[in-house]
Amino acid sequence: MGGIFMPPIFVFMDVTNSFIPTAGTAGILPMITYFFLIVAMLAFIGNFVFILFSSTRLSLSPIRPPYRQMPNLLAICALIVGFVYYLLQAYYRDVLAELPTVTDPNDRQTLLRESYNALGQYRYMGWFITTPLLLLHLILITHIQLESIKRPLASLLLSAFFMAIASYIGHQQLSFDNEIQIGQKLTWGLIALVDYVFILFTLNRLRNQCVGDTLSKQPFIRLTALSIISSWGIYLLGYFLTLLPIDLNWIHLLFTVTDLTSVIGSSLIAYLYSPHELSER
């Protein structure tokens, strides 16, 4: 009887033993990075739910079975990237918990660089799955008959896989003390760049093959292609920027905004275009 009864809810509100990052301890740029990691995670979860409730409208061409899979492709992308960002924000918070214990500015940058090398690999694991899926989504919205482009499509998908895995291997070119091995990283980066250029040329050839399609579709296709293809170019740009002596939080921010644009942007573009497409059908 001597103790004070506390409702069970207060057990979950005890944060005395939990680290909640603030700019006062971690710095403003790391906190902005952390902010966008959390926001991106929530946005991808919201995007996944949005796709589930809008799957009929997003199907675009319900009379063609292959094209009905487009909402599924976008939903899988949103779910995978959302889980990746859950991991990123969870581990990055541990980094921010350690950051206040490091007083030397050079040591703080070393900690941030090493954390980027560790956390960045999760991005490549997610891109290994989402890059081919978004590429397939882009092919489907052109309404090309898939039977007529079996070989180019297989080449595109293989190139997307190789571009992601080559970038991942290059990202792992680190010494025992987590210093980047510049020569090896450049080599694997160039391999990924060759795959990216091959994808661009192949897509351009397929675009010329679709010149006879109705021009009303072209703005939708161009917007989606710009959103997806430019995102891969930005990923490669960020890959090479890690070789420069910059605060890698900027690359975290660059990649986060790009992920939001490519995945959620593709869903929103399809959603906005779908009424026109369905009326044509």
Contact 167, 235 (CB under 8 A): yes
Within 13 Å and on the Cβ side, how many CA atoms surround 233? 10
What's the confidence (pLDDT) of residue 255?
Answer: 96
What's the confidence (pLDDT) of residue 129?
Answer: 94
What's the confidence (pLDDT) of residue 183?
Answer: 93
Q: What proportion of the chain, given as a percentage, has pLDDT over 90?
A: 45
- Reported as a single tens digit per residue, the pLDDT across 45-70 is 999 998 888 766 666 554 455 556 67
How much of the chain is in helix, strand and coil states, percent to nearest 5?
Answer: 80, 0, 20
User: DSSP states of 21-76 as a string?
Assistant: --HHHH-HHHHHHHHHHHHHHHHHHHHHHHHHHTHHHHTS-TTSGGGGGHHHHHHH
Q: Which residue in this structure is represented by tokens 């487009």?
A: 70
- Reported as a single tens digit per residue, the pLDDT across 115-149 is 898 899 999 999 999 999 999 888 877 777 777 78
What's the confidence (pLDDT) of residue 216?
Answer: 45
- With 0-12 CB in 10 A as exposed, 13-18 as middle and 19+ as buried, what is 261? middle
Q: What is the pLDDT along the chain (281 residues), one digit of tens a residue?
A: 445 544 554 444 455 556 778 888 888 999 999 999 999 999 999 999 988 887 666 665 544 555 566 778 888 999 999 999 999 999 999 999 888 888 888 888 888 888 898 899 999 999 999 999 999 888 877 777 777 788 888 999 999 999 999 999 999 998 887 888 999 999 999 999 999 999 999 888 887 766 555 444 567 778 888 889 999 999 999 999 999 988 899 999 999 999 999 999 888 887 777 655 544 54
- Bridge partners (DSSP) listed for residue 174: 180
Closest alpha carbon to 131 in 87, 169, 83, 80 = 80
Contact 238, 254 (CB under 8 A): yes
Please report, as a single letter, which amino acid is at residue 185.
Answer: K
Contact 35, 252 (CB under 8 A): no
What's the confidence (pLDDT) of residue 9?
Answer: 47
Kind and range of the H or E run holding 171: helix 150-171
What's the confidence (pLDDT) of residue 11?
Answer: 47
Sign of CA dihedral 78, 79, 80, 82: positive
Please report, as a single letter, which amino acid is at residue 255.
Answer: F
CA angle 175, 176, 181 (to 5 degrees): 5
What's the confidence (pLDDT) of residue 1?
Answer: 46
d(CA 48, CA 75): 5
Closest alpha carbon to 266 in 49, 61, 51, 56 = 51
Supply the CATH classification number for the domain 26-280. 1.20.1070.10
